[in-house]
Amino acid sequence: MNQQLTVIGTGVIGNGWIARALAQGWDVVAFDPAEDAEVRTRDFVTSAWPSLEKLGLAESADPARLTFTDSLETAVKGADLIQENVPERLELKREILSAIDAAASPSVIIGSSTSGFKPSDLQRDCRQAPGRVIVAHPFNPVYLLPLVELVGGEATSTEQTGIAQKLYQSLAMRPLIVRREIEGHIADRLMEALWREALHLVNDGVATTEEIDAAVVYGCGLRWALMGTFMTFHLAGGESGMRHMLEQFGPALKLPWTKLEAPELTDELIEKVVKGSEFQAAGRSVAELDRRRDDFLVELLDLVQKYWPEAEGLKGRI
Ligand code: NAD
């Protein structure tokens, strides 16, 4: 029998989960109170499908396996995995997660896509089986990017994290189990640090949004896609690797290069960042840019697998 993913909240991220699960041959049941939710989701799946076909569909993959319901309680019935993707507001998430927990079978894992909240805070109002409410934080576009950060809370057992790990692997993902719960998990902490610094550079008139993006795309970003931060710096140390890198560049860490605290989002800074990004988009719609990004990511995942085969399971079905 097919596995069933239940998706609560079908915005950018919920729809990404839906497209991924359908491509892996799962049944999907969705709930979102917005009036146009079903139409938006079906359009989203149609646009994502060509990239998913290139990645490789499961035999039973079929967009017709998606159904919408108008009640959260009905949606969670029969689920093998439940994914919550409502807006990032703690009170709202707590309320929805406690309703899901009350209605769902107690052994079913409930993953929250939250970018920043800790699982113990999300579990607090759940009465039936709080431990199975965990953070399962994906990356946009969810249907292509393999990483999902799994974070258990105070009530979560190792066994529950293990069950979640297997479930997300069967959605062709690469689960990264985060050892300790912290706000922002791992990847968003890194992205936030870069983002704050980029905003300072724009705010101080050092660079435009376009120039900063060029620095990432043609400089650091290309290497990060293959090796991440530590391996990139290991190579920067020459034959002696990281040890020499730290000896040579370690002192610079003490220099006041980075600010890390975000600048005030003044109207002037907002205008600079928005106008700069719109200038770079040059009249192309977000949907058009999404398609270009997706084609690139499909090929990039192939390249990562070709040149870094140790990172097995990054692409397609595991
Ligand atoms: P979004 O605003 O695009 O979508 C939220 C959806 O939730 C909407 O469709 C809305 O109608 C629905 N919703 C609102 N109230 C609801 C309710 N009571 N029950 C069910 N559905 C309800 O937001 P998003 O960007 O998809 O973010 C969702 C979650 O994913 C957030 O927790 C966010 O932190 C996380 N996340 C976002 C990104 C990203 O890049 N956008 C990446 C990773 C994780």
Q: How high is the pLDDT of residue 312? A: 58
Residues with CB under 6 A from ligand 1: 8-14, 31-34, 37, 85-88, 96, 113-115, 137-138, 140
pLDDT band at 318 (very low <50, low <70, confident <90, very high): very low
**Which of 29, 32, 96 is the pocket-test mutation for ligand 1 (most atoms within 8 Å of CB)?**
32
250-267 pLDDT, tens per residue? 999 888 888 889 999 999
Q: How high is the pLDDT of residue 86? A: 98
Q: How high is the pLDDT of residue 259? A: 82
Mean pLDDT, the chain, integer = 94
**What is the CA(265)–ligand 1 centre distance, in A?**
23
Compute φ and ψ for 26, nearest 5 degrees.
-85, 160
Ligand 1: residue whose CA is nearest its atom 39 = 140
Burial readout 78-97 (b: 16 or more C-beta within 10 A, e: otherwise): ebbbbbbbbeeeeeebbebb
**Which of 7, 13, 40, 98 is the pocket-test mutation for ligand 1 (most atoms within 8 Å of CB)?**
13
Q: How high is the pLDDT of residue 256? A: 84
pLDDT band at 311 (very low <50, low <70, confident <90, very high): low
Q: How many CA atoms lie within 13 A of 175 on its CB side?
A: 22
55-66 pLDDT, tens per residue? 999 999 999 999
Task: Report the percentage of the chain scoring pLDDT > 70.
Answer: 97
DSSP secondary structure string, 11-28?
Answer: SHHHHHHHHHHHHTT-EE
pLDDT > 90? residue 89: yes
Q: What is the dihedral of CA 256, 257, 262, 267, to 10 degrees?
A: 110
Residue 106 CA to residue 121 CA, distance in Å, equals 19
**What is the CA(257)–ligand 1 centre distance, in A?**
35
Atom of ligand 1 nearest to the CA of 95: 18
157-188 pLDDT, tens per residue? 999 999 999 999 999 999 999 999 999 999 99
- 8, β-bridge pairs: 31, 84
What residue has token string 């009249």? 283
Residue pair 84/110 in contact (Cβ under 8 Å)? The answer is yes
Q: How high is the pLDDT of residue 29? A: 98
Domains with residue ranges and CATH for the chain: 4-177 (3.40.50.720), 187-283 (1.10.1040.10)
Q: How high is the pLDDT of residue 310? A: 72
pLDDT > 70? residue 80: yes
104-127 pLDDT, tens per residue? 999 999 999 999 999 999 999 999
Residue 285 CA to residue 197 CA, distance in Å, equals 27
DSSP secondary structure string, 171-209?
Answer: TT-EEEE-SS--TTTTHHHHHHHHHHHHHHHHHTTS--H
pLDDT band at 315 (very low <50, low <70, confident <90, very high): very low
3-53 pLDDT, tens per residue? 999 999 999 999 999 999 999 999 999 999 999 999 999 999 999 999 999
Q: How high is the pLDDT of residue 308? A: 84
Q: How high is the pLDDT of residue 316? A: 44
Burial class of residue 54, CB neighbours in 10 A (0-12, 13-18, 19+): middle
Q: How high is the pLDDT of residue 134? A: 98
**Which of 85, 91, 135, 293 is the pocket-test mutation for ligand 1 (most atoms within 8 Å of CB)?**
85
**What is the CA(93)–ligand 1 centre distance, in A?**
10
127-154 pLDDT, tens per residue? 999 999 999 999 999 999 999 999 999 9
Convert 200-265 into a string of H (helix), E (strand) and C (coil): HHHHCCCCCHHHHHHHHHHHHHHHHHHHHHHHHHHHHCHHHHHHHHHHHHHHHHHCCCCCCCCCCC
Residue 46: other Cβ atoms inside 10 A: 11
